[in-house]
């Protein structure tokens, strides 16, 4: 099982979208500075995640979330949480 996740930087409020098999470990790695693309945007908070059955499904969902309609979906989900 794979997990597609969205992190939000508390520093600049930008989003990071990725996929992993171990969500807790991956979020710790991001916040620990172990991921170059988010190192200078820490701290990060997990704002959304969803499970996918296969790597292919997760990759397709990740690509969608990085698109314009996908970003709109994420922003609508985040706005309901605030």
CATH number at residue 12: 3.40.1440
Domains held by the chain: number: 1
Half-sphere exposure of residue 44: CA atoms within 13 angstroms, side-chain side: 27
Range of the domain at 36: 2-81
Q: What is the pLDDT of residues 51-82, one digit of tens each?
A: 999 999 999 999 999 999 999 999 999 998 76
Give 29: exposed, middle or buried? Use CB within 10 Å, 0-12, 13-18, 19+.
middle
What is the DSSP secondary-structure string of 8-38?
A: EETTT--EEEEEES-HHHHHHHHHTT-STTT
Which pTM does this prediction carry? 0.95
Q: What is the pLDDT of residues 1-56, one digit of tens each?
A: 999 999 999 999 999 999 999 999 999 999 999 999 999 999 999 999 999 999 99
């Amino acid at each position: 099982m794979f997990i597609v996740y969205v992190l939000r930087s508390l520093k600049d409020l930008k989003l990071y979208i990725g996929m992993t098999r171990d969500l807790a470990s991956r979020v710790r790695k991001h916040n620990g500075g172990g991921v170059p693309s988010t190192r200078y945007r820490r701290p990060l908070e997990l704002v959304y995640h969803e499970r996918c059955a296969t790597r292919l499904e997760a990759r397709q969902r990740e690509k969608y979330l990085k698109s314009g309609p996908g970003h709109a979906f994420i922003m609508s989900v985040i706005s309901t949480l605030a």
